[in-house]
């Protein structure tokens, strides 16, 4: 199970790296507003559950950038980290569900055990 989590995280970070294109320039105010809004969505779960994976990856990327750019208060740092972790976890869950749904989980485990990374 640990192997699955590590591999899924690697897949997630690869996807997040591709999703780093922003249609807007990040600012402290935008980071804080997005973090507050996305935190509320994540806690609500209803709109969060309908979110497309590409949007989740963009949010992960933005929160990582905001954390690097705007670590002005401990409260903001914790909010960025929370939002980042929640969206990473949800994306991981969706990738895992995909592997299971398409009967690819065992193939993934076998290839990983054989050294394919």
Print pLDDT tens along the chain (117 aa). 555 544 444 455 544 444 444 546 889 999 999 999 999 988 887 777 788 999 999 999 999 999 998 877 899 999 999 999 999 999 999 999 999 999 999 999 999 999 987
How many Å separate Cα 78 from the centre of its chain? Answer: 16
- 114 — alpha (psi -120 to 50), left (phi > 0) or beta? alpha
Residue 47, pLDDT score: 74
Residue 73, pLDDT score: 87
Residue 70, pLDDT score: 81
Which residues, including other chains, have CB under 8 Å from residue 87's CB and lie 6 or more apart? 38, 42, 56, 59, 60, 63
Residue 113, pLDDT score: 93
Residue 117, pLDDT score: 78
Residue 92, pLDDT score: 94
Residue 24, pLDDT score: 63
């Amino acid at each position: 199970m640990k192997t699955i989590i590590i591999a899924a995280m690697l897949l997630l970070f690869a996807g997040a790296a591709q999703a780093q294109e922003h249609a807007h320039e990040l600012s402290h105010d935008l980071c804080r507003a997005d973090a507050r809004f996305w935190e509320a969505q994540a806690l609500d779960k209803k709109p969060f559950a309908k979110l497309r994976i590409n949007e989740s990856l963009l949010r992960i990327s933005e929160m990582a950038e905001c954390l690097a750019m705007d670590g002005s208060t401990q409260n903001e740092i914790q909010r960025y980290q929370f939002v980042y972790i929640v969206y990473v976890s949800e994306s991981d869950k969706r990738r895992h569900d995909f592997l299971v749904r398409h009967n690819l989980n065992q193939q993934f485990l076998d290839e990983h055990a054989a050294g394919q990374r």
